[in-house]
Amino acid sequence: MLRFVVRRLMLLVPILLGLSILVFLWIRALPASPAVSLLGERATPESIAQIEEQYGLDEPIHVQYWSYLKTVAQGDLGTTIRSRRPVTDELRERFPATIELTFAALLFAVTLGIPLGFAAAKRYGTWVDHSSLVLSLLGISIPVFFLAILLKYIFAVELGLLPTVGRIDVLIDIEHPTNFYTIDALLAGDLAAFWDVIKHLILPAIALGSIPLAIIARITRASVLDVQNEDYVRTARAKGLAPRTVDARHIFRNALLPIMTIIGLQAGLLLSGAVLTETVFAFPGMGSWLVEAIRQRDYPILQGGILFVSLVFVLVNLIVDVSYALINPRIRVS
Question: What is the chain's alpha carbon radius of gyration, rounded to the nearest angstrom?
Answer: 24
**Residue number with CB closer to another protein (51 or 206):** 51
**Least Å distance between CB 33 and another protein?**
7
**Least Å distance between CB 54 and another protein?**
5
Backbone angles phi, psi at 301, to 5 degrees: -65, -45
User: DSSP H helical segments within the chain, as ranges?
Assistant: 2-29, 34-39, 45-54, 61-73, 87-122, 127-141, 144-151, 181-187, 191-228, 231-238, 243-245, 253-264, 266-280, 286-296, 299-327, 329-333
d(CA 154, CA 161): 9
d(CA 115, CA 216): 10
**Least Å distance between CB 288 and another protein?**
8
**Residue number with CB closer to another protein (6 or 21):** 21
**Residue number with CB closer to another protein (45 or 240):** 45
**Residue number with CB closer to another protein (233 or 290):** 290
**8-state DSSP, 125:** T
d(CA 321, CA 323): 6
Give the 3-state secondary structure of residue 167.
Answer: coil
**Residue number with CB closer to another protein (86 or 99):** 86
**Residue number with CB closer to another protein (37 or 236):** 37
**Least Å distance between CB 241 and another protein?**
13
**Least Å distance between CB 21 and another protein?**
9
**Least Å distance between CB 115 and another protein?**
9
